[in-house]
Amino acid sequence: MRKRPFLLASLTLGGIFLFFLLVIFASGMINSGSVVVSVGEKIGVLEVNGAIVDAHRLNEQIADFRDRDNVKAVVLRVDSPGGGVGPSQEMYEELKLLAESKPLVVSMGSVAASGGYYIAVAGERIFANPGTITGSIGVIMSFPDYQELMGKVGIKSQVVKSGKFKDIGSPTRSFTAADRKLLQAMIDDVHQQFIEAISTGRKMSLADLEPLVDGRIFTGRQAKEVGLIDELGTFNDAVRYAGNAVGIGADPDLVYPEEEKVNLIDRYLQTAASRYLGVDLTARPQLGPQYLWHVN
């Protein structure tokens, strides 16, 4: 009989412990995005922050919102100077598919330039702050030249190649006239692809775009004057527009994509490298032509 109160107390404490463990577990899953409870009509929010390096994650989010019936419209928030040509074009194509099935409204943050502007023209309505930096409609490639440095330290490079252009852009030799002509033709073609996307998205003729596509940047207010955006307004203005456009009001519920899961070791290493070494372990080298507002 003496053991029964101890047993009851142990069971009670165990039950309380399990209850709080379940609460913590469920809370952690919801906060990490593993459990999504989505009821009622909502506006989806997609975000593009920083340099555009890889389209995979955003394109997964686009596909998810495209397939969810309760997501009636999407607001794309862009705060990016652009990035790789390929990833920018992949994002743009997926956003166009999304815009065919539900309204896509774009909100520009501090910067939505070059590739950041490229993806924005997939939207049916573009909002920017008056001071947003946008435009920079152009393409850039840069190549380092180490020849002088190598000569000073006595280093030489020997190359065996299958054709005269195989080592084009090498930092160990000078550009030839043929190199420059070939690369310029490639850059001009990629630039023309950018202009054609803007012409389609903004319903502007190539002739009207010609004075705007030399790489110059615009403020949001200047961009509105020349037709590159539609409205001066904030993210909240874009949300209100999207909500009204689909008939769910100016104060709609918002839904964001699930957060990307990062294991604890990777998160610790990334934080330590950033804090103590000033190194971003997630950064990837930018290769090839760039739709990038190049400010370095």
pLDDT digits (tens, 9 = 90+) for 222-270: 999 999 999 999 999 999 999 999 999 999 999 999 876 666 665 666 6
Q: Is the pLDDT of residue 9 over 80?
A: no
Question: Is 34 part of any domain?
Answer: no
Q: pLDDT band at residue 32, thresholds of 50, 70 and 90?
A: very low
Q: Is the pLDDT of residue 33 over 60?
A: no
- Which residue has better confidence, 285 or 162? 162
Catalytic entry in 27, 34, 161, 166: 166
Q: Give the pLDDT of residue 178.
A: 96
Catalytic entry in 114, 136, 170, 224: 114
Q: Give the pLDDT of residue 285.
A: 61
181 is catalytic: no
Quote the pTM value: 0.81
Question: Is 29 part of any domain?
Answer: no
170 is catalytic: no
Query: Total domain count for the chain?
Result: 1
Which of these ranges, 77-81, 203-207, 291-295, has the smallest mean pLDDT? 291-295
Domain CATH number, residue 269: 3.90.226.10
Which of these ranges, 123-137, 151-165, 260-274, has the smallest mean pLDDT? 260-274
Question: Is 14 part of any domain?
Answer: no
Q: Is the pLDDT of residue 36 over 60?
A: no
Question: Is 1 part of any domain?
Answer: no
Angle formed by the axes of helices 56-67 and 85-101, to 10°? 0
